[in-house]
Each structure stands twice: as C-alpha cells, then as structure tokens.
Amino acid sequence: DWYFYAISPDLKKELVELGLDDDEEKIFRPVWTRKHDFPICYSIEPQHILKPIAKVNNFETEIICDKCNVVWAYHKENEVEAGIGKPLYITQESLSILHDFNVTYEFFGPGGYLIRKVIVSKKIHDFIINKYPRAEIRPVLLAEDNQQNNQETVL
C-alpha cells in the first residue's frame, strides 16, 4: 500500500465539495481501525500518473525493477533525494493533462523506500494554502518558460 498523505474526514468532505475532476473513490481511501465503525481518516492516493519529469529537472534515473518498470530519479551529487528544497518542473504537455491530484512517473527517495511525488492543481494548491497557511507545498514550474526566458512561472 502507498499512503501519501492522511487527511481528516472533514477535510476530505471540503475537498469533494470544492469539486474534483476525478471520482472521489479513486483519490481518497478510507483508513479504518478495529475500534471504530467509521474511517478515522482518508489516505490521498492519486491515480493519474504524469509524463516523466526527470529530463526537464536534470535528474539521473535508474530502472529499479524491469518487471514493474519502477524508475528511480535522483541527483548525481546526492543520490538520496532529487531536488530537496528546489521547485519541480513539468512540461506544457503535462500541464495540459494535469488533474487535481497527480503523481510523478518517477519514484524518489532512498533506495529501500521509494515513493512518487504528489503534484496538485492550482485549485487544490490555493485551497490548501488558504486553509492551512503554514502548509509546505513546493512550487511546480513550467519547464518551457524557464528555458526560454530564464524565468520561473508558477502554475
């Protein structure tokens, strides 16, 4: 199981009321305990996988599993994590098919614990930042704008 983020039932309800572009059953998975007959929280598990981003972010890649095609992305200088504290770049093509909740094609993290990065739409980003001003969300920038103008356009 891949548990990205756990959110409260109230926050799940607010996100659904915001209007999602995917079926809520595909995004939110209930988390149960033996003591309760209701979900104590929901795991956010995006199903929409973006196109590869390693090349536009200058990440090295390595295929970890030929059978399941798991691709590990990392910086050559720091094999543990790709882009800590740096924005991620996506292409215009990826932006055009962006859903409210997405995951990267590549997996990130130290060798034994690899997860995909979650990328949310501007609508979800703005909602979270307005509701939780201290939330840490790294910007996702458009690669083409950065290459052409040497500027960063926040999506």
pLDDT tens digit at each of 155 positions of the chain: 455 688 999 999 999 999 998 888 889 999 999 998 999 999 998 989 999 888 888 887 777 777 777 777 766 655 445 455 677 889 999 999 999 999 998 888 766 677 888 899 999 999 999 999 998 888 888 888 766 544 444 45
- The torsion angles phi and psi of 26, rounded to 5 degrees, stand at -85, -20
Residue 128 structure tokens: 């979270």
Angle at CA 44, nearest 5°, toward 110 and 132?
Answer: 95
What pTM was estimated for this model as a whole?
0.80
Show the DSSP H helices in 6-121 as ranges. Answer: 9-18, 24-27, 92-96
